[in-house]
Amino acid sequence: MDSFMVGDIVARKSYNMDVIFKIVNINGTIADLQGVTVRISADSNINDLVHISESELNTSMKNFENSRNVRLDRCFSHVHRTFNLRNENYTSPLIYTKEKILKKPGIILHIDGDAEYTEKCKENYRRMGLTAYVYNIAEQEQYKYVYNLLQQIRPNILILTGHDAFFRRKNDMYDINNYRNSKYFVRAVIEARKYEHNLDNLVIFAGACQSYYEALISAGANFASAPKRVLIDMLDPIIVAESIAYTPVDRFIPLASIISNTREGINGIGGVQTRGQYREGMPGI
- Stretch 161-186: mean pLDDT: 92
Question: What pLDDT does residue 88 have?
Answer: 40
Percent of the residues in the chain that have a pLDDT greater than 70, as a whole number: 87
Task: Judge if 29 and 136 occupy the same domain.
Answer: no
Closest residue by Cα to residue 239 from 210, 275, 199, 268: 268
Task: Judge if 165 and 118 occupy the same domain.
Answer: yes
- Cα separation, 27 vs 16, in Å, equals 23
- Stretch 173-185: mean pLDDT: 96
Domains: count for the chain: 2
- Amino acid, res. 248: P
Task: Judge if 109 and 234 occupy the same domain.
Answer: yes
What is the pTM (predicted TM-score) of this model? 0.83
| 269 belongs to a structural domain | yes
Task: Judge if 91 and 224 occupy the same domain.
Answer: yes
Task: Judge if 30 and 140 occupy the same domain.
Answer: no
Beta-bridged to residue 26, according to DSSP, are 31
- Cα separation, 252 vs 274, in Å, equals 5
Q: Which residues span the domain enclosing 269?
A: 66-281
Task: Judge if 92 and 24 occupy the same domain.
Answer: no
Q: Is 193 helix (H, G, I), strand (E, B) or coil?
A: helix
Task: Judge if 16 and 95 occupy the same domain.
Answer: no
Cis amide leading into 227 (omega within 30): no
pLDDT at 197 over 90: yes
| 230 belongs to a structural domain | yes
Non-local (6+) Cβ contacts of 210 within 8 A are: 40, 164, 165, 166, 179, 225, 226, 229, 230, 231
Task: Judge if 43 and 72 occupy the same domain.
Answer: no
Percent of the residues in the chain that have a pLDDT greater than 90, as a whole number: 59
The per-residue pLDDT for range 29-86, each reduced to its tens digit, is: 999 998 887 878 888 999 999 999 888 888 877 777 777 677 666 666 655 555 555 4
Taking each continuous run of H as one helix and of E as one strand, the counts in the chain are 7, 13
The alpha helices in the chain, defined as continuous H runs, are 54-83, 115-128, 142-153, 182-195, 213-219, 236-246, 255-260
